[in-house]
Amino acid sequence: MNDNKRQKVVILGSGWAGYSFARTLDPAKFDRIVISPRGYFVFTPLLASTSVGTLEFRAVLEPVRRLPGGVRFYQGWADDVDFSQKVIRVEANAVDGLPSELQSSTVPVKKEAVKKEAAKKGEVFDVEYDKLVIAVGAYSQTFGIPGVREHAHFLRDVGDARRIRLRVLSLFEQCSYPTPADSSDTHVAKGSLSEADKRSLLHFVIVGGGPTGIEFAAELHDLIHEDLKKLYPELVPLVRITVYDIAPKVLPMFDQALAQYAMDTFARQGIQVRTEHHLERVRIADGLLGSAHGGMSIKIKEYSDEVNAGLVVWSTGLMQNPFVEHLVGKEFAVAQDKELQKPEDARPHRLVKDAKTGGILTDAYLRARITDSETSQPHDAAAAAGGTSSKPVMPDVFVIGDCAVNEGDRSLPKTAQVAAQQAGYLAKQLNKATQNGSLDAVDVGSAWKPFKFRNWGTLTYLGGWKAIHQSSADELRGWVAWVVWRGAYLTRSMSLRNKMMVPVYWFVSWVFGRDISRF
Amino acid sequence: MNDNKRQKVVILGSGWAGYSFARTLDPAKFDRIVISPRGYFVFTPLLASTSVGTLEFRAVLEPVRRLPGGVRFYQGWADDVDFSQKVIRVEANAVDGLPSELQSSTVPVKKEAVKKEAAKKGEVFDVEYDKLVIAVGAYSQTFGIPGVREHAHFLRDVGDARRIRLRVLSLFEQCSYPTPADSSDTHVAKGSLSEADKRSLLHFVIVGGGPTGIEFAAELHDLIHEDLKKLYPELVPLVRITVYDIAPKVLPMFDQALAQYAMDTFARQGIQVRTEHHLERVRIADGLLGSAHGGMSIKIKEYSDEVNAGLVVWSTGLMQNPFVEHLVGKEFAVAQDKELQKPEDARPHRLVKDAKTGGILTDAYLRARITDSETSQPHDAAAAAGGTSSKPVMPDVFVIGDCAVNEGDRSLPKTAQVAAQQAGYLAKQLNKATQNGSLDAVDVGSAWKPFKFRNWGTLTYLGGWKAIHQSSADELRGWVAWVVWRGAYLTRSMSLRNKMMVPVYWFVSWVFGRDISRF
């Protein structure tokens, strides 16, 4: 590999967009440099399975450094980009003993805390790029609801899944201590839980009826009814699982019949679904229930009384990454590039922010749009109509995934599927472009076709070996969809190692039960 | 199962002694009640393998609640025993979010902290027993050396292994950031590590040349030279592994030829072994190396200068559990039991403490010895000569494993092998005893033979697919011993699940490399 001849492509982020891009980009042609606060990609569709022990955590992780063909990796936060000098400022984030709990890219509060810590202690360094791919994703949006950030669990990183798993198993363990009436051979001295307390702690609340929330509810139901039932038989009758959503129906991406099938399945399993319910607050419950056991009281607008719960999982809403907010807010002089030789390019510019979502606007080739900073004209009114406008772009800066808004189709959802397709499109275009010989041919030319999203369909697991699947071509439900669900996940974005291990774990969990060691 | 007819056997501890006993005791005849601060048994011989990612953590864990035949389990600390009333006071320890890091049974400082916390917040309750088996193990002994408790890692629980693994991978990640001289395309702004700093952080120190320390050094060497070498090629030349021991030779349980073979193997692998070296202090290194990277400076008596290191693993010495100290210190009236009808039994008694180790003295049937508290005569002078003296015992209290000292053979080492054999002996005797019909026949009668330890031999892994094995019958070295090493571990004390999974992990690690995701 001729390091001096290959262009340096710096990729910010190791999620669906960043990792899929890095995986597809040809290392023989490009020097891949990944910068991310975490050293691995998370295969998110199976994250809920790890949170209940069906799968090992590692089965859904792909280490960035193991990308075939060699990759440079810096574990850290991209702090700033100097678009004129084509340099990224990075804050190191490999500090020792920092558990994944604090490395989650999904919880701004914690992230900021970590960032500050790293800034105080760690290294800051600059990395140059020839091409930059911004794929930093989005954060969980809590809409300012009090207590969600502090007391609810997210389910976006493997650290989240581990925390949820520990919490669920801990709750069963805490409720398994004797109560005064339990038996004659144990005498409770102090601080014991009443049956009502146990019902409170064994109430599992999920906020958000999208696929993540629904799948977590389903996996949790399986864990409780297939495994914990044998180990804590006396506790299972006390368990409740409730999904709250503000919308009139859950799973909005499925048509009415499939969503109804999901609701019927849940109803048979005893999982309560409460649509048009609004969470207003989460707080630690009063008394021993809260102080000793972490029980919570949640306020639902539609109910006069608070509802107690032992676990609240928050799986609704995304907001922009603060790094993206920083980037779209700053002015910079456009780098001297031969594609930008119009007079106005000498003036300071800004990235164009999508007014609705706050994301970075791109043209149909996923290049970052820029606007003249002085006149503050967004330059994208025409472009919004679609297609390849002649408005200025940064030819060497691409934006993909949750933080990007493609002016060709602004309605694309923030999903793994969109991110992965954008990543694959961009990497393949770049791979092709350099086959023409000159590295300058990497720049978008007539050879590029605009990015176009293809809906591969949506799959959601419903528990009890049932799933639903919807695509433009077909609809499936029940165990057939379950087979498709399991099969589909084996063919996607996984290393051979995990393609082998995931079925092994499925088999072992099926034969021996899910692992229930709490560590 | 007739709960009212089965005797309640309460087992304190879930290590080699407690878990092996519970596993062997017949649940049809006894009501098994396990009380332990952790809900699982750790298969310690493979713990070092998990600390480097060769095996999954869960592959060395066996959940107590999954014991076949049904078991009652209370996660908590035994706080006190009322031998007169035959009641154990338990402090609950299933508080939420308590990571295994704090549940380790090996680190008194942390344990005490946790205990206090639990006492403040949690439940306290009493559990009655008919028979009590004390198997609470021992703590790590640090001989009061400053800084060991705070800065060194132990390797006795799965939480320890996880922390070590995170630290090792974090150190490589921290050292992989660019240094000023590294390349032209990165510019270090502040806080960068010099090459000397990196050498310091990549110095891995093991204190204690017993099998645990030697195996960890070997596994770490394999991780670095089989896996990390490919991912951090520039860092591997900076790595050093050093084993310090105060004795003139390591692996004292092996004969000279095998120990020498081990030393020669290590020498070829570049692992330094420093015998007759005395650690005097561990402290955080000065400057950025310490404050930002957790680097340590250790003082060795034989060197004038301190030695820097990024990781210190402490694997030498055991001390008595504070719970055992509490038990041997307290007076109690002996329960009215028909075996103890001599006049002096009405007076207060104490357990007999082994003067040398502080453990609880047992007779050759593993029953706790007691002594007359007023006269303070240890009653065990005669018994020390071996065999079954007529000195008093608690007929319903057994002590096994690291906290027990068998008066029949006081020289038995504190090893998994001894603990497992004592556990198996005791459970089988109890199982047999009740076959006579009456439950009272459980009491030791003429049918019991004294416990006798059989040395099954010792195995130690040396890295690079080599091991040594020594027993009374044979000696093995090299890859043959390695095959025995791997084979032996599959046949011991493991669930079928882990018997299946361990070879799968070995295979996967061999083909794809060890997992290196840091989470």
pLDDT for position B343: 53
Q: Does B96 contact A167 at a Cβ distance shorter than 8 Å? A: yes
Name the closest residue on chain A to residue B186, using Cα atoms: A127
Q: Work out the pLDDT band at A191, boundaries 50, 70, 90.
A: low
DSSP A60: G
Residue A456 is assigned to a structural domain of this protein: no
| CATH number for the domain harbouring residue B172 | 3.50.50.100
Mean residue pLDDT across chain A: 83
Residue B88 sits in the same domain as residue B197:
no
Q: Reply yes or no on whether the pLDDT at A370 is more than 80.
A: yes
**pLDDT higher for A473 or A426?**
A426
Give tens-digit pLDDT for B199-216.
999 999 999 999 999 999
Q: Work out the pLDDT band at B317, boundaries 50, 70, 90.
A: confident
Q: What distances in angstroms separate CA A425 from CA A351, A436, A453, one per listed residue?
A: 22, 18, 10
Neighbours of A83 (CB within 10 A): 23
pLDDT for position B421: 94
| Interface check B69 vs A, CB under 8 A | no
| Interface check B313 vs A, CB under 8 A | no
Query: Which among A1, A151, A516, A518 is the top mutation candidate for probing chain B, defined by the most B β-carbons within 10 Å of its own β-carbon?
Result: A518
Q: Does B519 contact A159 at a Cβ distance shorter than 8 Å? A: yes
Stretch among A492-506, B73-87, B144-158, B305-319 having the lowest mean pLDDT: A492-506
CA distance A260 to A273: 11
DSSP B185: T
Contact yes or no for B121/A291 (Cβ under 8 A): yes
DSSP codes of every residue in A359-425: -EEE-TT-EEEEEETTTT--S-HHHHTSS--SS-EEEEEEE-GGGEEETT-TT--S-HHHHHHHHHH
CA distance A127 to B203: 28
pLDDT for position A443: 58
pLDDT for position B263: 94
Residue of B125, B158, B497 lying closest to A519 (CB–CB): B158
Torsion region of B458: left, alpha or beta (phi above 0 gives left; psi -120 to 50 gives alpha): beta
Q: Does A191 contact B96 at a Cβ distance shorter than 8 Å? A: no
Which of B429, B447, B465 corresponds to the end of one domain? B447
Residue A350 sits in the same domain as residue A239:
no
Q: Work out the pLDDT band at A188, boundaries 50, 70, 90.
A: low
| Interface check B161 vs A, CB under 8 A | no
pLDDT for position A122: 61
Name the closest residue on chain B to residue A175, using Cα atoms: B94
Give tens-digit pLDDT for B379-398.
444 444 444 445 788 989 99
**pLDDT higher for B399 or B454?**
B399
**Could you tell me the two tokens for B348?**
């207060």
Could you tell me what percent of chain B has a pLDDT over 90?
Answer: 54
CA distance B432 to B288: 64
Give tens-digit pLDDT for B22-61.
999 999 999 999 999 999 999 998 899 999 988 889 888 9
CA distance B482 to B6: 45
- Dihedral sign for Cα A175, A180, A185, A191, please: positive
The C-alpha of A121 sits at a distance from chain B's nearest C-alpha, in angstroms, of 5
Q: Which uninterrupted H or E stretch holds B268?
A: helix B256-269
Residue B467 is assigned to a structural domain of this protein: no
Q: What distances in angstroms separate CA A399 from CA A71, A405, A447, B120, B255, one per listed residue?
A: 20, 8, 20, 52, 65
Q: Does B187 contact A87 at a Cβ distance shorter than 8 Å? A: yes
Name the closest residue on chain B to residue A103, using Cα atoms: B519
**pLDDT higher for B500 or A318?**
A318
Residue A167 sits in the same domain as residue A283:
yes
CA distance B430 to B376: 31
pLDDT for position A110: 36
- Which residues are CB-neighbours of A411 under 8 A, at least 6 positions away? none
Give tens-digit pLDDT for B100-115.
333 333 333 334 444 4
DSSP codes of every residue in B8-41: EEEEE--SHHHHHHHHHS-TTTEEEEEEESSSEE
Which of B269, B295, B315 corresponds to the end of one domain? B315
Residue A251 burial class via C-beta count within 10 angstroms: exposed 0-12, middle 13-18, buried 19 and up:
buried
CA distance A55 to A58: 8
pLDDT for position A513: 80
User: Collapsing DSSP states into helix, strand and coil, what is residue B495?
Assistant: coil
Residue B158 sits in the same domain as residue B201:
yes
End-to-end Cα distance, chain B: 44
Domain count, chain B: 2
**Could you tell me the two tokens for B152?**
């060194």
pLDDT for position B506: 81
Residue A147 is assigned to a structural domain of this protein: no
| Interface check B103 vs A, CB under 8 A | yes
**pLDDT higher for B484 or B434?**
B484
Q: Which residues of A433-464 are buried (b: 16+ CB within 10 A; e: fewer)?
A: bbeeeeeeebbbeeebeebebeeebbbbbbbb
Residue B327 sits in the same domain as residue B268:
no
Q: Tell me what the mean pLDDT of segment A198-207 comes to.
A: 97
Structural domain boundaries enclosing A212:
153-179+190-315
Q: What are phi and psi of B450, to 5 degrees?
A: -60, 150
Contact yes or no for B242/B272 (Cβ under 8 A): yes
pLDDT for position A434: 64
Contact yes or no for B361/B353 (Cβ under 8 A): yes
Q: Does B99 contact A75 at a Cβ distance shorter than 8 Å? A: no
pLDDT for position B434: 64
Residue B16 sits in the same domain as residue B133:
yes
The C-alpha of B494 sits at a distance from chain A's nearest C-alpha, in angstroms, of 13
Task: Give CA torsion, residues B332, B333, B337, B343, to 10 deg.
Answer: 130
Q: Does B171 contact A96 at a Cβ distance shorter than 8 Å? A: yes
CA distance A238 to A203: 8
DSSP codes of every residue in B415-477: -HHHHHHHHHHHHHHHHHHGGGS-GGGGS--TTPPPP------EEEEEETTEEEEE-SS-EEE
Q: Work out the pLDDT band at B492, boundaries 50, 70, 90.
A: low
Which of B382, B413, B447 corresponds to the end of one domain? B447
Stretch among A92-96, A423-427, B9-13 having the lowest mean pLDDT: A92-96
Residue A433 is assigned to a structural domain of this protein: yes
| CATH number for the domain harbouring residue A348 | 3.50.50.60
Stretch among A54-63, A172-181, A367-376, B416-425 having the lowest mean pLDDT: A367-376
Could you tell me what percent of chain B has a pLDDT over 70?
Answer: 82
Residue A454 is assigned to a structural domain of this protein: no
Residue B123 is assigned to a structural domain of this protein: yes
CA distance A408 to A389: 10
Highest mean pLDDT among A471-485, B91-105, B197-211, B333-347: B197-211
Give tens-digit pLDDT for A112-139.
444 444 444 567 889 999 999 999 999 9
Residue B362 sits in the same domain as residue B335:
yes
Torsion region of A13: left, alpha or beta (phi above 0 gives left; psi -120 to 50 gives alpha): left
Strand pairing class (B307-309; A367-372): unpaired
CA distance B102 to B475: 40
Q: Which uninterrupted H or E stretch holds B67?
A: none
Give tens-digit pLDDT for A25-84.
999 999 999 999 999 999 998 899 999 988 889 888 999 999 989 899 999 999 999 999
Name the closest residue on chain B to residue A509, using Cα atoms: B497
Residue B508 is assigned to a structural domain of this protein: no
Torsion region of A97: left, alpha or beta (phi above 0 gives left; psi -120 to 50 gives alpha): left
Q: Work out the pLDDT band at A474, boundaries 50, 70, 90.
A: confident
Q: Tell me what the mean pLDDT of segment A358-366 comes to.
A: 94
Q: Does A173 contact B75 at a Cβ distance shorter than 8 Å? A: yes
**pLDDT higher for B389 or B515?**
B515
Residue B426 sits in the same domain as residue B339:
yes
CA B61 from centre of chain:
13
Q: Reply yes or no on whether the pLDDT at B76 is more than 70.
A: yes
The C-alpha of B159 sits at a distance from chain A's nearest C-alpha, in angstroms, of 7
Q: Tell me what the mean pLDDT of segment B438-452 comes to.
A: 67
Residue A479 is assigned to a structural domain of this protein: no
Residue of A74, A294, A519 lying closest to B57 (CB–CB): A519
CA distance B396 to B386: 21
| Interface check A65 vs B, CB under 8 A | yes
Strand pairing class (A367-372; A393-399): antiparallel
CA A377 from centre of chain:
33
CA angle A445, A450, A453 (to 5 degrees): 155
| Interface check A512 vs B, CB under 8 A | yes
- Dihedral sign for Cα A448, A451, A455, A458, please: positive
Residue B198 sits in the same domain as residue B290:
yes
Among residues B463, B417, B474, B518, which one has the least CA distance to residue B49?
B463
CA distance A26 to B325: 65
Residue A254 sits in the same domain as residue A395:
no
Highest mean pLDDT among A455-464, B88-97, B299-308, B426-435: B299-308
DSSP A249: S
A-contacting residues in B 216-255 (Cβ below 8 Å): 231
Residue B237 sits in the same domain as residue B342:
no
Residue A67 sits in the same domain as residue A34:
yes
Q: Tell me what the mean pLDDT of segment A435-459 comes to.
A: 71
Q: Which residues pair with B314 in a beta bridge?
A: B207
CA distance A168 to A182: 22
